[in-house]
A and B are shown apart, each in its own frame.
Chain A
Amino acid sequence: MDKVEIYLPILIMVAVGALIATVLMGLSVLIGKRTRSKVKMQPYECGVDPVGDTKHPVPVKYYMVAILFIIFDIEVVFLYPWAVIYDSLGMFGFLEMLVFVAILITGYFYILGKGALKWD
Protein backbone atom coordinates (compact mmCIF):
# COMPACT_ATOMS: atom_id res chain seq x y z
CA MET A 1 0.00 0.00 0.00
CA ASP A 2 2.70 2.41 1.01
CA LYS A 3 4.78 1.82 -2.09
CA VAL A 4 5.35 4.72 -4.38
CA GLU A 5 5.19 2.42 -7.44
CA ILE A 6 1.43 2.58 -7.52
CA TYR A 7 1.73 6.22 -8.55
CA LEU A 8 3.82 5.31 -11.62
CA PRO A 9 0.84 5.27 -14.06
CA ILE A 10 -0.09 8.77 -12.89
CA LEU A 11 3.45 9.94 -13.51
CA ILE A 12 3.37 8.50 -17.03
CA MET A 13 0.01 10.12 -17.62
CA VAL A 14 1.34 13.51 -16.50
CA ALA A 15 4.40 13.11 -18.70
CA VAL A 16 2.36 12.17 -21.77
CA GLY A 17 -0.02 15.08 -21.16
CA ALA A 18 2.83 17.54 -20.84
CA LEU A 19 4.46 16.16 -23.97
CA ILE A 20 1.32 16.46 -26.10
CA ALA A 21 0.68 20.01 -24.89
CA THR A 22 4.26 21.10 -25.56
CA VAL A 23 4.33 19.53 -29.03
CA LEU A 24 1.02 21.07 -30.10
CA MET A 25 1.81 24.54 -28.73
CA GLY A 26 5.32 24.40 -30.13
CA LEU A 27 4.06 23.40 -33.58
CA SER A 28 1.56 26.22 -33.69
CA VAL A 29 4.23 28.72 -32.65
CA LEU A 30 6.66 27.37 -35.25
CA ILE A 31 4.48 27.00 -38.31
CA GLY A 32 1.49 29.23 -37.51
CA LYS A 33 0.95 32.63 -39.16
CA ARG A 34 0.45 35.63 -36.85
CA THR A 35 -1.39 38.88 -37.52
CA ARG A 36 -1.48 41.61 -34.87
CA SER A 37 -4.18 44.23 -34.81
CA LYS A 38 -5.61 46.43 -32.07
CA VAL A 39 -8.84 44.51 -31.87
CA LYS A 40 -7.02 41.20 -31.72
CA MET A 41 -4.76 42.24 -28.85
CA GLN A 42 -7.68 43.24 -26.62
CA PRO A 43 -8.41 40.99 -23.65
CA TYR A 44 -11.18 38.54 -24.42
CA GLU A 45 -14.41 39.30 -22.61
CA CYS A 46 -17.18 37.13 -24.09
CA GLY A 47 -16.97 39.00 -27.37
CA VAL A 48 -18.05 42.26 -25.73
CA ASP A 49 -15.76 45.30 -25.59
CA PRO A 50 -13.88 45.15 -22.25
CA VAL A 51 -15.04 47.67 -19.63
CA GLY A 52 -12.82 49.15 -16.93
CA ASP A 53 -9.93 47.72 -14.96
CA THR A 54 -9.48 44.09 -13.98
CA LYS A 55 -8.59 45.13 -10.44
CA HIS A 56 -12.15 46.11 -9.66
CA PRO A 57 -13.04 46.00 -5.93
CA VAL A 58 -15.58 43.29 -5.18
CA PRO A 59 -18.66 44.41 -3.21
CA VAL A 60 -18.44 43.50 0.44
CA LYS A 61 -21.56 41.34 0.35
CA TYR A 62 -19.64 38.73 -1.61
CA TYR A 63 -17.22 38.52 1.31
CA MET A 64 -20.14 38.18 3.71
CA VAL A 65 -21.58 35.22 1.84
CA ALA A 66 -18.14 33.63 1.45
CA ILE A 67 -17.40 34.03 5.16
CA LEU A 68 -20.74 32.57 6.19
CA PHE A 69 -20.41 29.74 3.72
CA ILE A 70 -16.99 28.71 5.08
CA ILE A 71 -18.17 28.47 8.65
CA PHE A 72 -21.33 26.46 7.97
CA ASP A 73 -19.56 24.30 5.44
CA ILE A 74 -16.79 23.33 7.83
CA GLU A 75 -19.09 22.53 10.73
CA VAL A 76 -20.45 19.62 8.70
CA VAL A 77 -17.08 17.96 9.30
CA PHE A 78 -18.36 16.85 12.72
CA LEU A 79 -21.38 15.16 11.19
CA TYR A 80 -19.32 12.60 9.27
CA PRO A 81 -17.67 10.73 12.17
CA TRP A 82 -20.97 10.88 14.01
CA ALA A 83 -22.79 9.36 11.07
CA VAL A 84 -20.23 6.55 10.77
CA ILE A 85 -20.77 5.29 14.33
CA TYR A 86 -24.37 6.43 14.68
CA ASP A 87 -25.68 2.94 15.40
CA SER A 88 -23.46 2.31 18.37
CA LEU A 89 -24.04 5.73 19.92
CA GLY A 90 -27.79 5.27 20.23
CA MET A 91 -30.09 7.82 21.78
CA PHE A 92 -27.29 9.68 23.55
CA GLY A 93 -25.47 10.37 20.30
CA PHE A 94 -28.68 11.48 18.66
CA LEU A 95 -29.43 14.00 21.42
CA GLU A 96 -25.86 15.31 21.40
CA MET A 97 -26.08 15.91 17.66
CA LEU A 98 -29.43 17.65 18.15
CA VAL A 99 -27.72 20.04 20.56
CA PHE A 100 -24.95 20.65 18.04
CA VAL A 101 -27.37 21.33 15.22
CA ALA A 102 -29.47 23.54 17.49
CA ILE A 103 -26.40 25.69 18.16
CA LEU A 104 -25.72 25.92 14.42
CA ILE A 105 -29.34 26.88 13.77
CA THR A 106 -29.07 29.57 16.46
CA GLY A 107 -26.20 31.03 14.47
CA TYR A 108 -28.23 30.74 11.26
CA PHE A 109 -31.18 32.59 12.76
CA TYR A 110 -28.81 35.22 14.08
CA ILE A 111 -27.31 35.98 10.66
CA LEU A 112 -30.77 35.82 9.12
CA GLY A 113 -32.08 38.32 11.65
CA LYS A 114 -29.06 40.57 11.11
CA GLY A 115 -29.88 40.66 7.41
CA ALA A 116 -26.47 39.34 6.44
CA LEU A 117 -27.99 37.20 3.70
CA LYS A 118 -30.04 39.99 2.14
CA TRP A 119 -28.53 40.81 -1.23
CA ASP A 120 -29.94 44.31 -1.74
Chain B
Amino acid sequence: MSFSPELHHWLILSTILFSIGIYGVLTRRNAVGVLMSVELLLNSAAMNFLIFNHYASKPFIDGAIMALFIIAVAAAEAVIAMALFVAIFRSRKTVDVTQINTLKG
Protein backbone atom coordinates (compact mmCIF):
# COMPACT_ATOMS: atom_id res chain seq x y z
CA MET B 1 0.00 0.00 0.00
CA SER B 2 2.65 2.55 -0.91
CA PHE B 3 0.76 4.34 -3.61
CA SER B 4 0.80 8.08 -3.95
CA PRO B 5 -1.14 9.88 -6.67
CA GLU B 6 0.95 11.59 -9.33
CA LEU B 7 0.12 14.31 -11.83
CA HIS B 8 -1.32 11.93 -14.37
CA HIS B 9 -3.64 10.27 -11.86
CA TRP B 10 -5.18 13.62 -11.06
CA LEU B 11 -5.45 14.47 -14.74
CA ILE B 12 -7.21 11.17 -15.43
CA LEU B 13 -9.69 11.97 -12.67
CA SER B 14 -10.43 15.43 -14.05
CA THR B 15 -10.71 14.08 -17.59
CA ILE B 16 -13.22 11.48 -16.41
CA LEU B 17 -15.25 14.23 -14.74
CA PHE B 18 -15.11 16.31 -17.93
CA SER B 19 -16.24 13.34 -20.03
CA ILE B 20 -19.12 12.57 -17.67
CA GLY B 21 -20.13 16.22 -18.00
CA ILE B 22 -20.15 16.10 -21.81
CA TYR B 23 -22.06 12.82 -21.77
CA GLY B 24 -24.60 14.28 -19.38
CA VAL B 25 -25.17 17.46 -21.39
CA LEU B 26 -25.73 15.41 -24.53
CA THR B 27 -28.00 12.71 -23.07
CA ARG B 28 -29.92 14.20 -20.11
CA ARG B 29 -33.54 15.00 -20.81
CA ASN B 30 -34.24 16.95 -17.65
CA ALA B 31 -32.91 20.51 -17.85
CA VAL B 32 -31.75 20.35 -14.24
CA GLY B 33 -29.68 17.28 -15.15
CA VAL B 34 -28.13 19.24 -18.01
CA LEU B 35 -27.30 22.03 -15.59
CA MET B 36 -25.61 19.56 -13.24
CA SER B 37 -23.54 18.22 -16.14
CA VAL B 38 -22.49 21.75 -17.08
CA GLU B 39 -21.37 22.28 -13.50
CA LEU B 40 -19.27 19.13 -13.82
CA LEU B 41 -17.60 20.58 -16.92
CA LEU B 42 -16.74 23.81 -15.13
CA ASN B 43 -15.57 22.09 -11.99
CA SER B 44 -13.37 19.62 -13.83
CA ALA B 45 -11.67 22.65 -15.39
CA ALA B 46 -11.31 24.23 -11.95
CA MET B 47 -9.77 21.00 -10.75
CA ASN B 48 -7.30 21.09 -13.63
CA PHE B 49 -6.26 24.59 -12.61
CA LEU B 50 -5.61 23.41 -9.07
CA ILE B 51 -3.68 20.36 -10.27
CA PHE B 52 -1.46 22.35 -12.60
CA ASN B 53 -0.99 25.01 -9.98
CA HIS B 54 0.26 22.36 -7.58
CA TYR B 55 2.56 20.57 -10.01
CA ALA B 56 3.69 23.23 -12.46
CA SER B 57 3.80 26.67 -10.87
CA LYS B 58 4.21 26.06 -7.16
CA PRO B 59 5.25 29.43 -5.75
CA PHE B 60 2.49 31.28 -7.63
CA ILE B 61 -1.22 30.85 -7.01
CA ASP B 62 -2.74 31.89 -10.35
CA GLY B 63 -4.44 28.52 -10.71
CA ALA B 64 -5.97 28.64 -7.25
CA ILE B 65 -7.29 32.15 -7.86
CA MET B 66 -8.75 30.99 -11.15
CA ALA B 67 -10.50 28.15 -9.34
CA LEU B 68 -12.13 30.70 -7.03
CA PHE B 69 -13.36 32.67 -10.03
CA ILE B 70 -14.71 29.51 -11.61
CA ILE B 71 -16.67 28.71 -8.45
CA ALA B 72 -18.26 32.16 -8.57
CA VAL B 73 -18.98 31.91 -12.30
CA ALA B 74 -20.50 28.45 -11.90
CA ALA B 75 -22.78 29.74 -9.15
CA ALA B 76 -23.89 32.68 -11.30
CA GLU B 77 -24.65 30.35 -14.19
CA ALA B 78 -26.60 27.98 -11.95
CA VAL B 79 -28.68 30.86 -10.63
CA ILE B 80 -29.50 32.19 -14.10
CA ALA B 81 -30.34 28.68 -15.26
CA MET B 82 -32.68 28.00 -12.34
CA ALA B 83 -34.46 31.30 -13.00
CA LEU B 84 -34.88 30.39 -16.68
CA PHE B 85 -36.14 26.92 -15.73
CA VAL B 86 -38.73 28.39 -13.37
CA ALA B 87 -39.90 30.73 -16.16
CA ILE B 88 -40.20 27.92 -18.69
CA PHE B 89 -41.89 25.60 -16.20
CA ARG B 90 -44.57 28.24 -15.66
CA SER B 91 -45.40 28.42 -19.35
CA ARG B 92 -44.87 24.79 -20.38
CA LYS B 93 -45.27 22.70 -17.21
CA THR B 94 -42.13 20.77 -18.12
CA VAL B 95 -38.36 21.15 -18.07
CA ASP B 96 -37.77 18.19 -20.39
CA VAL B 97 -35.38 19.56 -23.02
CA THR B 98 -36.66 17.19 -25.69
CA GLN B 99 -40.13 18.71 -25.29
CA ILE B 100 -38.86 22.27 -25.68
CA ASN B 101 -38.73 22.31 -29.45
CA THR B 102 -41.18 24.76 -31.00
CA LEU B 103 -38.48 26.76 -32.78
CA LYS B 104 -37.80 25.12 -36.10
CA GLY B 105 -36.84 26.19 -39.60
| Chain B 1-31 interface residues, beta-carbon cutoff 8 Å to A | 1-5
A12 at interface by CB-CB < 8 Å: no
Identify the stretch in A22-30, A46-54, A70-78, A86-94 within 8 Å (CB) of chain B at 4 or more residues.
Answer: A70-78
In angstroms, Cα B64 to Cα A81, docked, is 10
Size class of the A contact interface (CB-based, 8 Å): 10 to 19
Instruction: Look across to chain B and name the residue whose beta carbon is closest to the beta carbon of A3.
Output: B4
- Interface centre among B65, B76, B79, by most chain A C-beta atoms within 10 angstroms, is B79
- Is A120 an interface residue, CB under 8 A from the partner? no
- The answer, among A4, A60, A67, for a CB contact under 8 Å with B79, is A67
A74 touches B65 (CB 8 A): no
Contact B1 A60 (CB under 8 A): no
**Pair B78/A75 contact, Cβ less than 8 Å:** no
Whether B72 lies near A78 (C-beta < 8 A) is: yes
Tell me the dominant secondary structure on chain B's binding face.
helix
Contacts of B82 in A (CB 8 A): 63, 66-67
Closest CB-CB distance, B6 to chain A, in whole Å?
9
**A70 & B86 in contact (Cβ 8 Å cutoff):** no
B79: A residues at CB distance < 8 A: 67, 70-71
A-B contact sample (13 more), CB < 8 A, given A4-B4, A74-B76:
A2-B4, A2-B5, A3-B3, A8-B1, A67-B79, A70-B79, A71-B79, A73-B75, A74-B71, A74-B72, A75-B72, A77-B71, A81-B65
> Chain B residues in contact with chain A, CB under 8 A?
1-5, 65, 68, 71-72, 75-76, 78-79, 82-83, 86, 90
28 examples of A-B residue contacts, CB within 8 angstroms:
A2-B4, A2-B5, A3-B4, A4-B1, A4-B2, A4-B3, A4-B4, A4-B5, A5-B1, A5-B2, A8-B1, A60-B86, A63-B82, A63-B86, A66-B82, A67-B79, A67-B82, A67-B83, A70-B75, A70-B79, A71-B76, A74-B71, A74-B72, A74-B75, A74-B76, A77-B68, A77-B71, A77-B72
Nearest 6 interchain pairs by C-beta = A74-B75, A2-B4, A71-B79, A67-B79, A4-B3, A67-B82
